[in-house]
Every structure is written in C-alpha cells, then in structure tokens.
Amino acid sequence: MEIKILICMGTSGVSAGALEVERNFITELKSCGLDKKCKIVHTGDRGLFRDVLVDIIISDNRITYQYVKPEDVSIIVKEHLLEGEPVRKLQATEDYEQFFSGQMRIVLSNCGEIDPEDINDYETHGGYDALKKVFQISSQEVIEEVKKSGLKGRGGAGFSTGLKWEFCSKPESDKKYVVCNADEGDPGAFMDRSVLEGDPHSVIEGMIIAGYAIGACEGYIYCRAEYPLAIKRLKKAISEAKEKGFLGSNILGSGFSFNITIKEGAGAFVCGEETALIASIEGHRGMPKTRPPFPAQEGLWSKPTLINNVETFANIRHIIVKGAEWFSSIGTKESKGTKVFALAGKVKNTGLVEVPMGMTIRELIYGPGGGMVNNNIPFKGVQIGGPSGGCLPEELLDTAIDYESITKTGAIMGSGGMIVMDEQTCMVDIAKFFLKFTVAESCGQCTPCRVGLKRMLEVLEKITCGEGEEEQIIFLEEMGSAIRDTALCALGNTAPNPVLTTIKYFLDEYDAHIKEKKCPAHVCVELVKFEVIEEKCIKCGQCYKVCPVSAVVWQKNDYAKIDKAKCIKCKACINICPTVAIE
C-alpha cells in the first residue's frame, strides 16, 4: 500500500518553507524505513494560504495539516505514519472545511491535487482527453460547442468566448495566432499565477484546442516576469507536451501542428490590455491601439489573433469532455459556469475561491470567506474588479455574482479580485490608493487618462489631508465621467470606477473629510487627532505595547493616553485597537 504525501509547492508554499519541509520528510522517512512506501508529490497552491499545507493520503483516508514547519515533520512521521495517530494540533480546522465546502472547483480542480511538473499525473486526471476528442470532429463543431456552453472571457470584458473564436476563424490568412494573456496586473490578484503553477497543462491544452478551432499553428503565453515559478513550470509543461506528441508537428497524427512560445512581460499594468500586449510581444512599447480593427481581424504582426486569459483557456478542456450542456447548466441565464476570485482583505479565509455564477457576494464572503476577521468591527464594503472595479456597500451584498448584475452596480467583474473592507477602512483613501496605481501605470498616450486621472488624484490628496472643498465632488464626478467616455482603451475607461462608486455609495465619508475635516475610519493621518476616547477604551494596553516611540501612557486597569509631543502618527495604535477607541 503506497502512502502519498502531498506538499503544496506553489509560490506561497515555497516562501513558507515547503522545500525544507520536503527535505525533512525525505530524511525522516529514510531513517525509519518508510521511504520505499511513501511517495512525495509536489502540488501547486490549492487556494487557502495556510502554508505549508501537507496531506497524508493512506488508501481513502486523507488528513490535511496546515502551517507545517520543518520541525513538525518528525512528529507527523512518528505519530501519524508509524503509530497511526494523526497529529491533531496540526490538523486543518473547521475554517478549512468551510472554505472548500461552498465552492465548485472546475478550473482549480487539479490545483493542490496533482504534480504540475508531471504530465503523467495530469493525464491520469483526464489531461489531454479533450484534445484527443476534438481531433475526431471538425473545427467548426469545436467552436459551436464553446458557443453553446455560454463561456464568457474571464479576463474582465465578459465577451462570448465562442463568438470570439468564430470571428477569428473566418478571416483568410496564411498565419493566425493564439495568445494567452497571463499578465495579471491587478493588485491582490493571483488567480492566473496559481493556475499556471498548479495546472499548466490545462492552459496549454486549451490553447491547442483553440488553435485547432481557428486554424492557428502558433501560440504565445504572455506572462509577467515576476512569476518565475509559473514560467518555470510552463516551460517544463511545454517540453513534456512536445515529448508526448501533444505539441509540435502533426499532433497525435492529426495533421494539425501547433507550437507555443513564452513571452515574459516587464510587469506593466497596461499590457493586460490586449492591443498593448500585442505591441509588447512584437517588441514595441506596450501601448493600446484604437479599435477597430480588432485583434481577431488584425492582431499580432497584423495577422488574425485570438486572445483569451488563463482562466478562459483552463475551462476549455472541461467543456469539450463533459459537454456544453453540462457547463451551461451551471450559473445563471446570461453568465454560465464558475468564476475564480482572489478573496482578500478583512475576511477570515483569504485565498482563491471558485464559485458558480449567481452566488451572491454575501454568500461568498460569509461562506467560503468565513465572515469578517474581527466580529467586533462590522463590514463596510467590498472592492470588486481590481483598480478598474468599484466599491460596493453593505446594502448590495445580496447582488448576484454575474457580469450583468455586477455591471449594474457601477463596478465590473474584472479578472476576479475581491477585497473585503471593514469599518476601519477609509473609502476615500481606498479610492486614492487605486487611482494612484492607475496614474502610475498609465501609458500616457491619451490626454483623458494621462492628465485627467492625475487631476483627480490631486483632488483626492487634498481631501484626505483636510484641504477639500465641496465643489471638488462635482469635479471628480464630471472628470471621472469624461475619462470613462473618452479614454482610448478599456483600462482608461474604467480607471475612474473606484472614485465614482465610492462617491455614489459612500458620499457621507467624503462629506466628513471635506465639511468636518474628519476621517471616520481614522485612516487619513492629517485628519486624526490621536486622542483616546475613554468611553470606547477597554484598558487592554494593546496600543501601549505596539507604540514604537513610547508615546502611549498606560497602566494596568487604566485608560490609555497619548503624548502628542512624542507621537509620530504612525497609526500603530489605531491599527491594533480592537474597539476603534483612538480618534
């Protein structure tokens, strides 16, 4: 009987010490004579970042350990593998079970389960079955199946994948290209990275099928260079696929040939826009172009080019094997299938979640997310869609997660970033944070984006430092609307969203900053008095313990006080205070 030991070796696992954990397992297993009976399997991240995660699988019995340190390995080997008694103090908790129980994992089904650097493991889990199947039908039948599935592009725009494939298949050309957009520039987004690290062959298989469908013989994966592990595993996967005959000339004797090249991007946010991405692959500066012509007509090197993102391609094999009807039965009438979100912020369970379209935001946050990290500090809002998305308030928590419902709120689905915020978050500051990002990342090509966003940021900076005026709200709304309507590319069009949605749903916070010169969340340093409110203080002394300059005066069973002559306004006391007693 073989014993499997799964060790999460994604970026988060490796950074938490997974390599040393593995070395200790090898040493311990050899010393007790279990090295021949146990197989160590490297996996990608499974979504919940409680690394190092280790699974011990004996027959059908699976025990998951979380936060495993190198020094814990000897205990696991001795008590679990030798004595048959799982180490309870290291086992995953109920939160772990809750995180996965509300999900429907399709794209992420292999992540954390297979060795991403072993093509045989991928094949054991149905890998390349879809590719074998498509060679038995025509390219047009493949496109029709994708159209019938209702799959929309998961990169943000939500355009029909099947229609895009059809558009790209129609032009007559001596050469066509398939491009995978793995740039993933949104702050807090790590969906593409995790799929590429944990299941790279699913993306490669999807690209080959797309190539067959549109008549392309060459593909590119555009991946930012900040993802070295993803690139390493992609290179290994491409090499393995060639050796097995899934890539290269005359694939599986079908007469169809396809090759993939990896293009490493320099990390420019604007290169997530497809025309800027094309320019970057061609060796030019990544700057968007006006459309039409669209890439499907005239893209890479002026040839018809199909561009989809990582999550879109990872869905394809499941649609081909299980059928369009199966996929379209999941989700809503207009938005089919599942969506992967990078859940971050003030929730108990942060990480990657994959849920069916139509689930509400509330169900996601309080289901897999586990609710607010601190029950004493209420929910305030959720940012959906990254820097181009929007901030939604509590009254919209029951909004369904689908393209149509999210767009109606003024936000966008985007690639799947979701940041949960509590009452200690300043919504004006959040709008400023995202606008600062888009200003820094703007390519500078068009005036609305280059100048307009900068002017909006200057106004937000004045508001957050106590120099705001009432008419500035009107300016932000008018400038935001103008940029949305006139910017050259979709990134510029959506860049004002965080400002426009925070004004729409959290106007009272703008009013407090401007009229009262006060930040209700105690975030904007220039507007914070740094005084302890005795009615809220619970005399816990937490602020005293974290103050780096001893500006907090406190004794046991007494209220804390702040010596303003010493205070450097670092906000350590505010961040640690459990009752928001510092004003």
**What pLDDT sits at residue 502?**
97
Residue 185 lies in a domain: yes
CATH code, domain carrying 16: 3.40.30.10
Cβ atoms within 10 Å of 257's Cβ, excluding its own: 13
Predicted confidence (pLDDT) per residue in 314-356, tens digit: 999 999 999 999 999 999 999 999 999 999 999 999 999 999 9
Span 425-467, pLDDT tens digits = 999 999 999 999 999 999 989 999 999 999 999 999 999 999 9
Residue 161 lies in a domain: yes
pLDDT surpassing 80 at residue 280: yes
Sheet-wide strand order for 305-309: 259-265, 218-224, 177-182, 305-309
**Higher pLDDT pick, 199 / 291:** 199
Query: Residues 362, 297: one domain?
Result: no
Whether 126 and 207 map to the same domain: the answer is: yes
Residue 1: pLDDT above 80? no
Give the CATH number for residue 163: 3.40.50.11540
Instruction: Give per-residue pLDDT as tens, 13-56.
Output: 999 999 999 999 999 999 999 989 999 999 999 999 899 999 99
> Is 104 inside any structural domain?
no
| Same domain flag for 317 and 251 | yes
Residues 149 and 278 in one domain: yes
pLDDT of the residue at 472: 96
Determine the pLDDT at residue 376.
83
User: What pLDDT score was predicted for residue 357?
Assistant: 96
Average pLDDT over residues 149-178: 94
For residues 404-427, give the mean pLDDT.
92
CA distance 157 to 160: 9
How many domains is the chain partitioned into structurally?
Answer: 5
| Alpha carbon separation from 198 to 117, 191, 347 (Å, rounded) | 9, 11, 24
Residues 289-312 have a mean pLDDT of 95
For residues 457 and 486, give the distance between their C-alpha atoms in angstroms, rounded to a whole number.
18
Residues 292, 208 share a domain: yes
386 and 475 assigned to the same domain? no
Please report, rounded to a whole number, the percentage of residues in the chain having pLDDT higher than 90: 84
| Same domain for 567 and 469 | no
Of 382, 407, 422, which residue is a domain's last? 422
Given a cut of 80, is residue 86 above it in pLDDT? yes
> Are 170 and 260 found together in one domain?
yes
Q: Are residues 187 and 316 in the same domain?
A: yes
Closest CA to 350 of 190, 568, 143: 190
Task: Tell me: do 304 and 412 sit in the same domain.
Answer: no
Same domain, 159 and 301: yes
Least confident of 110-114, 237-241, 266-270: 266-270
The three-state secondary structure class of 371 is coil
Mark whether 433 and 351 lie in a shared domain.
no
Average pLDDT, the chain: 94
CB–CB of 577/543 below 8 Å? yes
Query: pLDDT, tens digit, for every residue of 505-552?
Result: 999 999 999 999 999 998 898 888 888 998 899 999 999 999 999 999
Instruction: Please give the share of the chain, as a percent, with pLDDT higher than 70.
Output: 100
In a domain? residue 542: yes
Using CA atoms, how far apart are residues 316 and 299, in angstroms rounded to an integer?
22
Is the residue at 522 inside a domain?
A: no
| Structural domain that includes position 434 | 427-515
Q: How confident is the model at residue 388 (pLDDT cuts 50, 70, 90)?
A: confident
Q: What is the pLDDT of residue 188?
A: 78
Decide: helix, strand or coil at residue 1.
Answer: coil
Residue 114 lies in a domain: no
Does a structural domain hold residue 105? no
Whole-number pLDDT of residue 178: 98
Judge whether 98 lies within some domain.
Answer: no
5-14: average pLDDT: 96
Boundary-marking domain end, from 294, 328, 362: 328
Distance CA 274, CA 179 (A): 9
Per-residue pLDDT at 58: 94
360 DSSP assignment:
B
How do residues 553-578 score in pLDDT, each as one tens digit?
999 999 999 998 899 988 899 888 88
